[in-house]
Chains A and B, each alone.
Chain A
Amino acid sequence: MDKRGYFSGFGGCFIPEILTQTFEELVQAYEAAKADPGFWQEYLDVMSTYSCRPTPLTFAGNLTNHFGGARIYIKREDLNHTGAHKANNVMGQGLLVKRMGKTRVIAETGAGQHGVATATMAARMGFDCTIYMGEEDVERQRPNVFWMERLGATVVSVRDGSRTLKDAINEAFRDWVSNMDTTHYVLGTACGPHPFPEMVAWFQSIIGTEARKQILEREGRLPRRVYACVGGGSNAMGLFSGFMDDPVELVGVEAGGKGLDSGLHAARLSSRDASIGVAQGYKTYFLQDGDGQMRDTHSISAGLDYVGVSPILAHLQAIGRARFEAATDAEVLEAVTLTMRKEGLIPALESSHAFAQAFKEAPTLAKDDIVIINQSGRGDKDIFTVADAFDDPAWKAFIQHKAEQYHA
Chain B
Amino acid sequence: MLETTIRNKLAQKDILLMTHIVIGYPNLDTSFEVVRTMVEAGVDLMELQIPFSEPMADGSVILKANQDALATGITVDQCFDFAQQVARDYQIPFLFMTYYNILFKYGVEAFAERMAECGLCGAIVPDLPPEEADEYLAAMNRHGLAPIFIFAPNTGETRMRQIAAHGSGFIYCMARKGVTGLQTDFSQQLGGHLAHCRAATELPLALGFGVKDHDDVQFIKGKADIAVVGSEAIRVLDSQGVAAVGDLIRSLR
Q: Cβ of A286: which chain B residues have Cβ within 8 Å of it?
A: 101
For A18, give its contact among B53, B70, B76, B177 (CB under 8 Å). B177
Query: Which stretch (B2-10, B86-94, B155-163, B236-244) binds chain A?
Result: B155-163
The 3 closest A-B pairs by CB, nearest first: A292-B105, A178-B178, A18-B152
Let me know if B151 and A17 touch, CB within 8 A: yes
Q: Is A347 an interface residue (CB 8 A)?
A: no
On whether the beta carbons of B152 and A293 are closer than 8 Å, the reply is no
- Residues on A with beta carbons closer than 8 Å to the beta carbon of B153: 18
Residues of A within 8 A of B130 (CB): 1
Question: Which residues of chain B from 47 to 71 have any CB-CB distance to chain A below 8 Å in the complex?
Answer: 52-57, 59, 63-64, 67, 70
Q: List 26 A-B contacts (CB under 8 A).
A: A3-B131, A3-B132, A13-B129, A13-B131, A14-B129, A14-B132, A16-B127, A17-B155, A17-B174, A18-B174, A20-B159, A160-B64, A161-B67, A170-B55, A174-B59, A174-B178, A177-B57, A278-B100, A278-B101, A279-B99, A281-B127, A290-B105, A292-B102, A292-B105, A292-B106, A293-B53
A21 contacts B by Cβ under 8 Å: yes
State how many angstroms separate the Cβ of B71 from the closest Cβ of chain A.
Answer: 11
Cα–Cα, bound, A243→B55 (Å): 38
A287 to chain B: closest CB distance in Å? 11
Please determine whether A20 and B178 come into contact, CB atoms closer than 8 angstroms. no
Interface check A166, CB cutoff 8 A:
yes
Across the interface, name the chain B residue whose C-beta is closest to A295: B53
A127 to B92, CA, bound (A): 50
Q: Is A2 positioned at the interface, with any CB of B under 8 Å from its CB?
A: yes
B side interface size, CB within 8 A: 43
Cross-chain contact B54 with A170 (CB below 8 angstroms): yes
Q: Are A280 and B132 within 8 A (Cβ)?
A: no
Contact B53 A294 (CB under 8 A): yes
Q: Is B53's CB under 8 angstroms from A161's CB?
A: yes
The number of A-B residue pairs with CB atoms under 8 Å apart is 110
Is the Cβ of A278 less than 8 Å from the Cβ of B104?
Answer: yes
Contacts A161-B67, A277-B104, A291-B105 given; indicate if A17 touches B129 (C-beta within 8 A). Answer: yes
Q: Are B155 and A293 in contact (CB under 8 A)?
A: no
Number of interface residues of A (CB under 8 A): 36
Cα–Cα distance between A67 and B177 once the two chains are bound (Å): 58
Bound state CA distance, A88 and B102, in angstroms?
Answer: 35
Query: Which residues does chain A contribute within 8 Å of B129, judged by CB atoms?
Result: 13-17, 20
Within the complex, the shortest CB–CB distance from A180 to chain B, in Å, comes to 7
Contacts of A174 in B (CB 8 A): 56, 59, 178-179
Q: Specify which chain B residues have a CB less than 8 angstroms from the CB of A14 in the assembled complex.
A: 100, 127-129, 132
**CB nearest neighbor in B for A167:** B54
Known: A20-B129, A293-B52. A160 touches B63 (CB 8 A): yes
- What does the 1/0 interface line of B138-161 toward A look like (CB < 8 Å)? 000000000001111111100100
CB <8 Å contact, A180 and B100: no
Which residues of chain B come closer than 8 Å to A112, judged between CB atoms? none
Contact A16 B102 (CB under 8 A): no
- Is B104 a contact partner of A177 (Cβ separation < 8 A)? no
- What's the least CB distance linking A377 to chain B, in Å? 27
Q: Would you call A12 an interface residue if the criterion is a C-beta within 8 Å of the partner chain's C-beta atoms?
A: yes
Q: Does A132 contact B (CB under 8 A)?
A: no
Structural contact, A20 and B152, CB atoms closer than 8 A: yes
Task: Tell me if A288 is interfacial: C-beta within 8 Å of chain B.
Answer: yes
**Would you call B42 an interface residue if the criterion is a C-beta within 8 Å of the partner chain's C-beta atoms?**
no
How far apart sit A286 and B159, CA to CA, in the bound complex (Å)?
31
A178 contacts B179, C-beta separation under 8 Å? yes
B118-133 interface code vs A (CB 8 A; 1 in, 0 out): 0000000011111110
Kindly state whether residue B75 has any CB partner on chain A within 8 Å. Answer: yes
Evaluate contact between B54 and A166: CB separation under 8 angstroms: yes
A-side contacts of B155, CB under 8 Å: 17, 20-21
Q: Are B132 and A13 in contact (CB under 8 A)?
A: yes
Would you give the shortest CB distance from B130 to chain A, in whole angstroms?
A: 6
Measured between C-beta atoms, what is the minimum distance from B215 to chain A in Å? 23
Q: Which residues of A contact B76 (CB under 8 A)?
A: 291-292
Q: Which residues in A have their C-beta under 8 angstroms from that of B56?
A: 16, 170, 173-174, 280-281
